[in-house]
Structure 1
Amino acid sequence: MKFAISEINARHGNLRILKTTKLPPSNITKEEMAAIHNLKNNREITILPADKGRTTVIMDTEQYEKQMNEMLQDRNTYEVLKRDPTEAKKRKLKTILKQLQEEKKIDKQTYNHLIPTANIIPRISGTPKIHKPGAPLRPIIDSMGSVTYNLSKFIADILKPLLGNTDYHCENN
């Protein structure tokens, strides 16, 4: 109980510090800030990180969407689904996790951590490979909040020490 009270007091103290701390002055002018705001709101352009080199790329939105659609038309890589499999995948994962818990292969805390709570469909975007001719897009899948997100993180944490520095493993950046 004492620990819980001291944790609440620490959080309250941190919150007070965050509320009273003043932000440092901006290092860009109001005009530059307005220009950035205008660029962000311009629907004719898409602002993306480059695939490599920590560079920002500004693309014509029509060109970006055309390249993304062309990439998704590749039937050797992507498949059109007749219906959204999210609910079925969620039910199946819940069944498997419940069975693992009943067999004492995972504890209640792990079960609660892994059980899917969100139904967000993974989203695809593309980052331009500016080091290649025509700047093709590298597909990036954002699965945060998806049915398998917590399970994927859990398995990645288990595998991380086993992978080490092999020829087949690269750090996520």
Structure 2
Amino acid sequence: MAGILKTAKLPPSNITKKEMVAIHNLKNNREITILPADKGRTTVILDREQYEKQMDEILHDRNTYEVLKKDPTEAKKKKLKTILKQLQEEKKIDKQTYNHVIPTASIIPRIYGTPKIHKPGAPLRPIIDSMGSVTCNLSKFIADILKPLLGNTDYHCENAKQLAGNSKTKKWKQTKYSFHKT
């Protein structure tokens, strides 16, 4: 198998050399930032200065974010390990679960913004990337437990298309409804 892979020819490129150079130049341009859009499965190129200004405005919202005096990562990791060890000793989780959810990395979650291109001015939607963080393994474990419970009620809609379909087929009682998009 390894021999076949070593001698196999790569398929021809689907982009021209000119396009390859353009992509390389965009990638190395420090004056822009290239991001996925919030919706629409498209890519957006923003002026880096403008992007950083918008992100600073988001982060300076003291109703949402708090400036910390020091990095709490190691303290959170230690506390989580203590709680998990206690749960294992009390036989509330087994050794396999303990080993699966115990934090192995201490990467600080990072924030970035995706432009809402469907809104005027394309404001940024803040996204917290917690991959590799102290709670990453535990979060995945809990999400796997909750996943089968999603969508098992009459009150759950997967997307706007399903909501529109339900609106046509369901008899709605005379009451007030609130629809929240997440």
Range of TM-score over shorter length: 0.7 to 0.9
Per the alignment, in what secondary structure is the counterpart of residue 127 of structure 2? strand
TM-superposed deviation, 1:41: 0.4
Tell me, in whole angstroms, the C-alpha distance in 1 between the residues paired with 2:103 and 2:3: 34
| Deviation digits for residues 113-141 of structure 1 (CA, Å, limit 9, x no counterpart) | 11111110000000000111111000011
1:50 and 2:55 correspond? no
Is the contact between residue 163 and residue 169 of structure 1 (CA under 8 Å) also seen in structure 2?
no
Is the contact between residue 32 and residue 45 of structure 2 (CA under 8 Å) also seen in structure 1?
yes
Deviating more after overlay: 161-170 vs 113-122: 161-170
Gap regions ≥5 residues in structure 1: 1-12
Per the alignment, in what secondary structure is the counterpart of residue 112 of structure 2? strand
Please report the TM-score for the alignment, with normalisation by the length of structure 2.
0.81
| Deviation digits for residues 80-135 of structure 1 (CA, Å, limit 9, x no counterpart) | 01111101100110001101111111111111111111110000000000111111
The verdict on how the C-alpha distance between 1:88 and 1:168 changes in structure 2, with shifts beyond 3 A counting, is farther
The verdict on how the C-alpha distance between 1:21 and 1:170 changes in structure 2, with shifts beyond 3 A counting, is farther
TM-superposed deviation, 1:22: 3.3
1:133 and 2:123 correspond? no
Per the alignment, in what secondary structure is the counterpart of residue 83 of structure 2? helix
Gap regions ≥5 residues in structure 2: 160-182
Match of residue 24 from structure 2: 37
Tell me, in whole angstroms, the C-alpha distance in 2 between the residues paired with 1:104 and 1:17: 50
The verdict on how the C-alpha distance between 1:21 and 1:93 changes in structure 2, with shifts beyond 3 A counting, is farther
Tell me, in whole angstroms, the C-alpha distance in 2 between the residues paired with 1:130 and 1:36: 22
Count of aligned pairs: 158
Moved over 3 A (4+): 15-22, 165-171
Please report the TM-score for the alignment, with normalisation by the length of structure 1.
0.85
Opposite residue 163 of structure 1, the aligned amino acid is L
Per the alignment, in what secondary structure is the counterpart of residue 141 of structure 1? strand
Is the contact between residue 112 and residue 128 of structure 2 (CA under 8 Å) also seen in structure 1?
yes
Tell me, in whole angstroms, the C-alpha distance in 2 between the residues paired with 1:46 and 1:39: 9
Tell me, in whole angstroms, the C-alpha distance in 1 between the residues paired with 2:6 and 2:128: 35
TM-superposed deviation, 1:23: 2.6
Opposite residue 136 of structure 2, the aligned amino acid is Y
1:70 and 2:53 correspond? no
Q: Percent identity?
A: 86
Structure with higher helix content = 1
1:99 and 2:99 correspond? no
Tell me, in whole angstroms, the C-alpha distance in 1 between the residues paired with 2:158 and 2:69: 34
| Deviation digits for residues 32-61 of structure 1 (CA, Å, limit 9, x no counterpart) | 101101000000011111111011111000
The verdict on how the C-alpha distance between 1:36 and 1:53 changes in structure 2, with shifts beyond 3 A counting, is same
